[in-house]
Structures are given as structure tokens and as C-alpha cells.
Amino acid sequence: MGKFDGILDDIMWKAKSAADVATQKTGEVVETGKLKLQLKQSQWEIEKGYSKLGAFVYESKKSGEDFSDLINLATGEIDLLQEKLIEIENQLLAHKKAIKCAACGREISIDSLFCSKCGAPVAENKATENKPNDDSASS
């Protein structure tokens, strides 16, 4: 019976390990899904902002009234939404353990040495990947 108990314990340990890995992977998939949903929602909000901006410009031209304040407000809202979109994109890239190539914009693994599309060295991409965040922090 001792050998059987050892085999059973081994099977149970392996099953638990497999379940732990499956749980971790499921969590990663759920997080990726949430980030992708947030990304799509942000893109949709930006499109709505552009529509609103276009309506203000159209009404201003048609009526001859000055809608500059509303146009500036809509433009500011779009700028904020685009900043949020970039933040979500960066979170998604970090979650995927990827960066965007500075030369061509393709998503590449942080473990890559060169971009698979344009051949740019990843070291250059890693050096530039934090620049947008640094610039936005100083604004």
C-alpha cells in the first residue's frame, strides 16, 4: 500500500500543479480581455469625440456663429481620451510582455533582439519605449 499511496500523492500533486497553471492562464486571459475591451471602448469614445467636434465645426460654419469655445473643449476631451488610449495600450503591451517597434510600430516580444518586420534592433526600441510616458509626466 505504501507505493500506491506515493503514486497517488504524486498524481494529486501533479493535478494540483496543473490546476494552478490553468488558473493562472485563465487569469491572464481574463486580464487581456478586460484590457482589450477598455481599448475598444476608448477608441469608440474618441470616435464619438471626433463626431461631436465635426458637428460643432459644421454648425459654426453653417450658422456663422463662433463655436471656438466648444471646439476647444471637444479638442481637449479628445486629447485626454487619446492619452487614456495610449495608457491602456501600454498596459496591454506590458501584460503581453511586448513593446512596439520604434521604427515601424509592430508589436514585438521584449525578448526579441530585432523587429521581425523591419529589422530594427530592439535595444533601440527599449531605449525609446519609456520616452512618451516620461514626456507626458512632465506636461
Is the per-residue pLDDT at 133 higher than 50? no
One-letter-per-residue 3-state SS of the chain = CHHHHHHHHHHHHHHHHHHHHHHHHHHHHHHHHHHHHHHHHHHHHHHHHHHHHHHHHHHHHHHCCCCHHHHHHHHHHHHHHHHHHHHHHHHHHHHHCEEECCCCCCEEECCCCECCCCCCEHHHHHHHCCHHHHHHHHC
Residues 9-26 pLDDT 10s: 778 788 878 777 787 778
Residues 99-112 pLDDT 10s: 999 899 899 998 88
Relative orientation angle of helices 2-63 and 68-96, to the nearest 10 degrees: 160
What is the structure's pLDDT at 77? 97
| Mean pLDDT value of segment 27-38 | 89
Asked whether the whole model's pTM tops 0.85, one would answer: no
What is the average pLDDT score of the chain?
84
Shortest CA distance to 56 belongs to which of 26, 27, 87, 78? Answer: 78
Is the per-residue pLDDT at 1 higher than 60? no
Beta strand 98-100 with 107-109 is antiparallel
